[in-house]
Amino acid sequence: MQFNLEHLGLPARDPAALKDWYVRKLGGKLVLTGGTTAPVYFVQVAGMVFEIYTATRALPDTADNKLAGLRHLALRVDSIEAAKAELESRGVKFTADIGNAGGGGRVLFFEDAEGNLLHLVERPAGFAFQ
């Protein structure tokens, strides 16, 4: 049996606003809109599709990288400095300085409009998963 990643669910307090954030800040593309009573948006970012829909509750520490569950989205880049400059020009605020990445390389963390944790990751040549 072969599995292929299709999409990741991303519940939001304000799905329309979060959809707009991913489109404006990360260059995402709205690929499908659905839902009968509540809006559902499918947005593609860096080859990954997010299903953004209405959350029924939220935790105050969404950006805590040690909280159990799916915790962050890593966006691989060739140059952290170049990607940082581009995202800052789009209004993205970074939450820490550039640090060391687990497994090698460098990372730089930021949050989306609802506090979900994302980071840029720059890996060395020949890294285990290219």
How is the chain split into domains, by residue range?
1-56, 63-130
Closest CA to 71 of 18, 118, 22: 118
Taking the CA atoms of residue 70, residue 96, residue 111 and residue 128 in that order, the dihedral angle to the nearest 10 degrees is: -40
Q: Is the pLDDT of residue 79 over 90?
A: yes
Determine if the pTM surpasses 0.85.
yes
Q: What is the pLDDT of residues 80-100, one digit of tens each?
A: 999 999 999 999 999 899 999
Q: What does the block give as tokens for 101?
A: 């990445």
Considering the segment(s) 1-56 as one domain, its CATH architecture is Roll (3.10)
Q: Strand 8-12 to strand 48-54: parallel, antiparallel, or no bridges (unpaired)?
A: parallel
Multiple choice CATH, 63-130, 3.10.180.10, 3.90.470.20, 3.40.50.2000, 3.30.70.20: 3.10.180.10
